[in-house]
């Protein structure tokens, strides 16, 4: 059974890691995809892989830090597929966190501003642009991307954690304001998922240490998030909105 058959979906940050896996799984489940990323070549490659596997996908370049670029992404979506049912707001400037984010006392104010502008404001702008398109089709599903870092301060990535906490609040506001229109909005809070951005982090002893904190016998993979995204995008989740769904191997539950 194709669980999101013929639904039109945008996945941002879909050239890499979690977004690439989510775009592929949504396409496998019958959705018509826009594979959007700042990295156009990467988006084109991922859209090509999806088509090679029999799915339907086009690539688009987007910078979620730029309102005009978001507008162009939605225009392309309308021209290509004629509407929108699913928005997976997955993109984030993860390099800001993995290289330069820091404890509150030390964080660079420019990095703080960029993190809020790209990750939090970008998520809001894309969600806001999706609303009238979903309303026109009688509903839709917006899936935002938080992080365990929103709920635990131990990682020390202050700006990143605070922007993700903002995304969780944004999720509840959108769900509250648009639920009666059939528009659902949820967030997924991944734990530590093995992607290009975290691979080095998991190497050697750190990986062993992280694994010991999980309740599951393995670390997270992008497909673990994709299963949750397909569920929240599908009509199986018709009664689920305003939630933050932790997909983290139990990392934050003990």
**Residues catalogued as catalytic:** 160
**Number of residues in contact with ligand NAD under rule CB under 6 A:** 30
Region binding ligand NAD by CB under 6 A among candidate stretches 63-71, 79-87, 127-135, 226-234: 63-71
Q: Which is nearer to ligand NAD, 139 or 231 (CB)?
A: 231
Question: Counting contacts by CB under 6 A, is residue 171 touching ligand NAD?
Answer: no
29/63 with CB nearer ligand NAD: 63
DSSP structural state of residue 183: E
246 touches ligand NAD by CB under 6 A: no
Q: Is 249 left (phi over 0), alpha (psi -120 to 50) or beta?
A: left
What's the CA gap between 73 and 11, in Å, rounded? 11
Q: Which of 197, 211, 240, 252 binds ligand NAD (CB under 6 A)?
A: 197
219 is a site residue for ligand NAD (CB under 6 A): no
Question: How is residue 10 annotated by DSSP?
Answer: E
Contact 43, 35 (CB under 8 A): yes
Q: Closest Cα to residue 7, out of 236, 222, 171?
A: 236
Binding segment for ligand NAD (CB under 6 A), chosen from 8-16, 23-31, 105-113, 174-182, is 8-16
- Which of positions 80-99 make contact with ligand NAD (CB under 6 A)? 90-94
The C-alpha atoms of residue 31 and residue 8 are separated, in whole angstroms, by: 6
* Residue carrying the six token digits 């990095």: 111
Cross-strand pairs, 37: 61
Distance CA 22, CA 12 (A): 10
Which one of 44, 77, 115, 147 is in contact with ligand NAD (CB under 6 A)? Answer: 147
Judged by the rule CB under 6 A, the positions of this chain that interact with ligand NAD are 12-13, 15-19, 37-39, 42, 62-65, 90-94, 118, 145, 147, 190, 192-193, 195-198
């Amino acid at each position: 059974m194709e669980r999101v058959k013929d639904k039109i979906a945008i996945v941002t940050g879909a050239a890499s890691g979690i977004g690439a896996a989510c775009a592929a799984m949504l396409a496998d489940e019958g959705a018509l995809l826009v594979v959007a990323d700042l990295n156009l070549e990467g988006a084109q490659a991922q859209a090509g892989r999806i088509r090679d596997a029999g799915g339907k996908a086009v690539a688009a370049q987007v910078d979620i830090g730029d309102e005009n670029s978001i507008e162009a992404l939605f225009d392309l979506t309308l021209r290509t597929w004629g509407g929108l049912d699913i928005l997976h707001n997955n993109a984030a400037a993860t390099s800001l966190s993995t290289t330069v984010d820091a404890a509150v006392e030390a964080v660079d104010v420019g990095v703080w501003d960029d993190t809020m502008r790209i990750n939090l404001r970008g998520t809001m702008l894309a969600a806001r642009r999706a609303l009238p398109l979903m309303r026109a089709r009688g509903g839709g599903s917006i899936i935002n991307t938080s992080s365990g870092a929103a709920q635990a301060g131990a990682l020390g990535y202050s700006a990143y954690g605070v922007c993700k906490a903002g995304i969780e609040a944004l999720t509840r506001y959108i769900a509250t304001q648009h639920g009666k229109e059939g528009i659902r909005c949820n967030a997924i809070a991944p734990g530590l998922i093995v992607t290009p951005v975290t691979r080095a982090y998991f190497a050697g002893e750190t990986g062993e240490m992280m694994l010991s904190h999980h309740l599951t016998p393995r670390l997270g993979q992008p497909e673990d998030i994709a299963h949750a995204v397909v569920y929240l995008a599908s009509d199986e989740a018709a009664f689920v909105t305003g939630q933050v769904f932790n997909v983290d191997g139990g990392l934050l539950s003990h």
